[in-house]
Amino acid sequence: MAEYREVETPGGDTPSATGESKGGFWSWVVGIFTEPTATFDSISQVIAVPDPTESGKTKDKSKWWIAIVIFAVILAITTAYVMLSPQGAEMMREQMLEAGVPAESLDETVQMARTVGLPVQIVAIVIFVFVIAFIGAAIIHLFSKMFGGKGLFRHARAIACWGLLIPALGTLVKIPIMAVTGKMMVETSPSIFFSGLEPGDTLFKFLNAGFDVFVIWETVVVLLGVAVMYRLTKGKAAAVALLSWAIATAVLTFLVPQGGSFGGM
């Protein structure tokens, strides 16, 4: 039987040196939707696994970066669909006409934008998702520590990154709806009850940024992750999740031109 050393992680149980814990990557993918508390408990066990090659150091085996990649790939696919679809091309034409592009060169300009712009957009999406994940993790960690949490930054990073699978699902749900309806923006927020709102309106952006079904779901998942990873009561974890939600909602409402949510287009 292999020998192993044990260390106690600030935000979870005692993991083995091999980094093995109950569950694994695919069980985490499913569990983040079905059993988030148990899933975060399992992930917490591999947050700080002793490094067998270097005494006193630990490795993070939570596979947080794969969750980011999954979300980025789904967003990239959605962006490609929007830009390459006839409806997307028509939307680009309208935007370019409003920007003053001459009508005689419109088709050529649109084609150029689709050919050159798509790779640029995909690279930007990957960078954007990583930046947003780390900013979100920093906010979660800051508030969790303010409320007396015992976790490390890597715990917040795992919460933020694995939580992105919720809006990733939201995007996947919206793609077929976009294909069937021909709409380039699918709403799963209370904004559907306000037919007179335009995408640029503050109320529209606020409702989609803060009250999209998948945003609310993700906020609840963050709450449960904070409670497990930082050993906080549900009340304090709720405060952390709501403060993080408020900051994200404010940024998407007032600083992003088209607003929206991370749950899709």
Instruction: Determine the pLDDT at residue 85.
Output: 83
Nearest-angstrom CA–CA distance, 107 and 89: 9
Instruction: Determine the pLDDT at residue 169.
Output: 96
Q: Are 213 and 189 in contact (CB under 8 A)?
A: yes
Identify the sign of the CA torsion 130, 132, 135, 137.
negative
The structure tokens 């260390």 sit at: 7
Nearest to 243 by CA among 130, 146, 132, 158: 146
Residues of the chain short of pLDDT 50, as ranges, are 1-9, 12-21, 263-265
Determine the Cα angle at 80 with ends 62 and 257, to 5°. 85
Query: What's the mean pLDDT when you consider all of the chain?
Result: 86
Taking each continuous run of H as one helix and of E as one strand, the counts in the chain are: 10, 2
Nearest to 68 by CA among 156, 155, 158, 143: 158
At residue 131, φ and ψ (nearest 5 deg) are: -65, -45
Instruction: Determine the pLDDT at residue 264.
Output: 42
- pTM metric for this prediction: 0.85
Nearest-angstrom CA–CA distance, 8 and 114: 52
Residues in CB range of 258: below 8 A, 6 or more apart: 199, 200, 205
Kindly state the percentage of the chain with pLDDT values over 90: 57
Instruction: Determine the pLDDT at residue 260.
Output: 56
Instruction: Determine the pLDDT at residue 118.
Output: 84
Q: Which two tokens stand for residue 162?
A: 């694995």
